[in-house]
């Protein structure tokens, strides 16, 4: 697509574009939290239920039941916020969907089936406590775990495609020679989907741990609390080191297929040999070149490799990247702390400092998730599909997008608040009341 002065002017002046982008970012940024919990929570739920089946210990069963109720609430919010996003693809980006809908349709269709299986087995799992044998009930949760991972994988392949579009030819604004499979399995797919799924497990693990670390700080140190906390920590701690490796892999893929995004992430303005690694006010000479190419004199393209009209807002991208990586290493530290204590003492630390760290780690993990999301999306700007279509050419021509955005923010604020209120009511209910309330 040629860069005409007209599109540049439009890009600068279009408040509507900003409103549409803000709305997409906001609703997806909301949905992504619930989507991650939808991937991760079934695992902790099923581990707890498995432990009950193996040991016959009631407190494991209570954990599984309680989490299944929280999961029901979170899944509902995830399902409806995901519905909003699927409509918004067309409502906000008709230019993109009208042109490329067929190219990225396959993963979305398959995701539809995965989501179907999640919803079906969620119904069976939630309402099947009394109807299925304990073993059959446990198995009825397995498809939720598998389908959760599958739907995350399929959806993220579509996002990976936006970062590395392939599998089609564009002739006069229409796609021909479309290969949906090649589009789905683009070079960004494997690292990005892995990065996302591992992130989902980390976010879930640390959020669960944070909830029960909070309980421990308030003096609740029952078996129930300790077990719940341990499950969360094990999940978060197991994936934190993996994420460091996967994140590095992801960054290398970005450096290859989206050098400008990479430059924005690392804050590399000028193309140079021996690019420095910049962390806040510090700069390690040659560090970026060394990390990326194993050679501290290698050339890394900077933002100046492309005209200004093709650069993302680099300050946001760089900040997002630092936040994500910084928190990632913080979480790794907590994982090591937990692992060390387990190795030396066969138990998790019981200091208040450790619990405070966990309480912070939950929201921090969510923040890292959002920051990573900002990096990949803002870092791709001004393109909606890297190098193929600009965001300005995809956006709806409908007026009043800003007003809709304001309304959407209002609605989601209500949604978020009430979700928290309901979850708190759930958490405060005495555990014995759980069984009776499950029917109906």
Partner 1 sequence: MSADLFILGVMACGGMLYAVLGGADFGGGVWELTAARRASVEERTLIRRAIGPVWEANHVWLIFVIVVLWSAFPPAFAGLTQALWVPLFLALAGIVFRGVAFAFRGHVAGHTRQEALWGRVFALASTAAPFFLGAAVGAVASGLEVDASGTFSGDILTGWLSPMAVFGAFFAVAVCAFLASAYLTREAAAAGDVALTDRWRRRALLTGALVGVLATGGIALVTVDAPEVWDGMRERAWPLIIVMVTSNLLSLWGLWRRRWNLAAVGAAGTVAAIMWGWALAQYPLLVPSQLTVDAAKAPDTVLTIMAWGVVAGLVLLVPALVLLFSLFKTQRSLEEAER
Binders in 375-394 for partner 1, by CB under 8 A: none
User: At closest approach, how far in Å is the CB of 76 from partner 1?
Assistant: 3
* Binding test (CB under 8 A) with partner 1, winner from 396, 402, 409, 431: 396
* Binding test (CB under 8 A) with partner 1, winner from 3, 9, 299, 421: 421
Local structure of 174: helix, strand or coil: strand
**β-pair type (174-176, 389-390):** unpaired
3-state secondary structure 12-47: HHCHHHHHHHHHHHHHHHHHHHHHHHHHHHHHHHHH
Q: Is 180 one of the binding residues for partner 1 (CB under 8 A)?
A: yes
Q: Is 22 one of the binding residues for partner 1 (CB under 8 A)?
A: no
Q: Which helix (H) or strand (E) holds 272?
A: strand 272-273
Name which of residues 108 to 147 contact partner 1 (CB under 8 A): 108-113, 115-117, 119-124, 126-128, 131-132, 143
Quick note: the x/- pattern for partner 1 over 50-69, rule CB under 8 A, is: -------------------x
Report yes or no: 299 and 273 within 8 Å, Cβ to Cβ: yes
Q: How many residues bind partner 1 (CB under 8 A)?
A: 75
Name which of residues 228 to 257 contact partner 1 (CB under 8 A): none
User: At closest approach, how far in Å is the CB of 154 from partner 1?
Assistant: 10
Between the CA of residue 140 and those of 62, 78, 79, 249, what are the distances in Å?
18, 20, 19, 35
DSSP letter for each residue of 404-437? HHHHHHHHHHHHHHHHHHHHHHHHHS-TTHHHHH
In degrees, to the nearest 5, what angle opens at C-alpha 103 toward C-alphas 101 and 104?
70
* Binding test (CB under 8 A) with partner 1, winner from 10, 18, 76, 170: 76
Q: Is 38 one of the binding residues for partner 1 (CB under 8 A)?
A: no
For 321-438, list the strands marked E by DSSP.
383-385, 389-390
Based on its alpha-carbon atoms, the radius of gyration of the chain, rounded to whole angstroms, reads: 23
CA 306 centroid distance within chain? 29
User: At closest approach, how far in Å is the CB of 117 from partner 1?
Assistant: 6
* Binding test (CB under 8 A) with partner 1, winner from 47, 217, 360, 422: 422
* Binding test (CB under 8 A) with partner 1, winner from 14, 102, 221, 341: 102
What DSSP state is assigned to residue 164? S
Between 77 and 228, CB nearer to partner 1? 77
Stretch that binds partner 1, among 6-14, 107-115, 304-312, 352-360 (CB under 8 A): 107-115
Report yes or no: 223 and 347 within 8 Å, Cβ to Cβ: no
Stretch that binds partner 1, among 2-10, 98-106, 218-226, 330-338 (CB under 8 A): 98-106
Q: How far apart are CA 146 and CA 162, in angstroms?
A: 25
Stretch that binds partner 1, among 101-109, 281-289, 299-307, 310-318 (CB under 8 A): 101-109
Between 98 and 313, CB nearer to partner 1? 98
Quick note: the x/- pattern for partner 1 over 157-176, rule CB under 8 A, is: ------------------xx
Stretch that binds partner 1, among 45-53, 186-194, 287-295, 420-428 (CB under 8 A): 420-428
* Residues in Cβ contact with 436 at an 8 Å cutoff, skipping those fewer than 6 apart: none
Stretch that binds partner 1, among 219-227, 247-255, 324-332, 395-403 (CB under 8 A): 395-403
Q: How far apart are CA 340 and CA 334, in angstroms?
A: 10
Name which of residues 270 to 309 contact partner 1 (CB under 8 A): none
List residues bridging with 117 in a β-sheet: none
């Amino acid at each position: 697509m040629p860069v005409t002065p007209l599109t540049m002017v439009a890009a600068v002046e279009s408040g509507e574009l900003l409103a549409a982008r803000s709305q997409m970012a906001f609703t997806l940024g909301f949905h992504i939290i619930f989507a991650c919990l939808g991937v991760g929570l079934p695992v902790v739920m099923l581990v707890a239920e498995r432990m009950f089946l193996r040991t016959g210990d009631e407190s494991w069963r209570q954990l599984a039941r309680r989490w299944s109720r929280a999961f029901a609430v979170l899944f509902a919010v995830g399902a409806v916020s995901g519905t909003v996003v699927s409509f918004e693809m067309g409502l906000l980006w008709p230019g993109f969907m009208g042109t490329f809908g067929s190219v990225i349709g396959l993963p979305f269709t398959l995701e539809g089936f995965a989501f179907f299986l999640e919803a079906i087995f969620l119904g069976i799992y939630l309402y099947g406590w009394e109807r299925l044998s304990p073993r059959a009930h446990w198995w009825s949760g397995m498809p939720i775990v598998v389908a959760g991972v599958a739907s995350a994988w399929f959806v993220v392949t579509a996002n990976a495609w936006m970062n590395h579009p392939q599998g089609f030819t564009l002739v006069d604004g229409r796609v021909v020679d479309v290969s949906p499979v090649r589009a789905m399995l683009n070079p960004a797919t494997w690292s990005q989907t892995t990065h996302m799924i591992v992130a989902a497990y980390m976010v879930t693990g640390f959020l669960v741990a944070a909830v029960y670390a909070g309980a421990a700080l308030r003096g609740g140190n029952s078996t129930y609390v300790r077990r719940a906390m341990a499950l969360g920590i094990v999940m978060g701690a197991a994936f934190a080191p993996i994420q460091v490796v996967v994140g590095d892999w992801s960054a290398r893929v970005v450096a290859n297929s989206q050098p400008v995004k990479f430059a924005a992430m690392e804050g590399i303005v000028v193309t140079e040999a021996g690019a420095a690694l910049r962390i806040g006010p510090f700069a390690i000479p040659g560090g970026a070149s060394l990390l990326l190419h194993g050679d501290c004199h290698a050339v890394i393209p900077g933002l100046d490799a492309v005209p200004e009209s093709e650069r993302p807002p680099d300050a946001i991208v760089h900040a997002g990247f630092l936040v994500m990586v910084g928190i990632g290493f913080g979480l790794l530290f907590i994982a090591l702390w937990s692992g060390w204590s387990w190795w030396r003492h066969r138990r998790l630390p019981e200091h208040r400092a450790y619990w405070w760290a966990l309480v912070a780690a939950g929201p921090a993990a969510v923040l890292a998730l959002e920051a990573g999301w900002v990096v990949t999306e803002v870092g791709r700007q001004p393109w909606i599909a890297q190098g193929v279509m600009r965001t300005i050419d995809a956006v709806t021509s409908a007026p009043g997008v800003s007003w809709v955005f304001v309304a959407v923010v209002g609605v989601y604020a209500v949604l978020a608040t009430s979700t928290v209120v309901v979850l708190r009511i759930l958490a405060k209910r005495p555990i014995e009341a759980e069984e009776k309330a499950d029917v109906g």
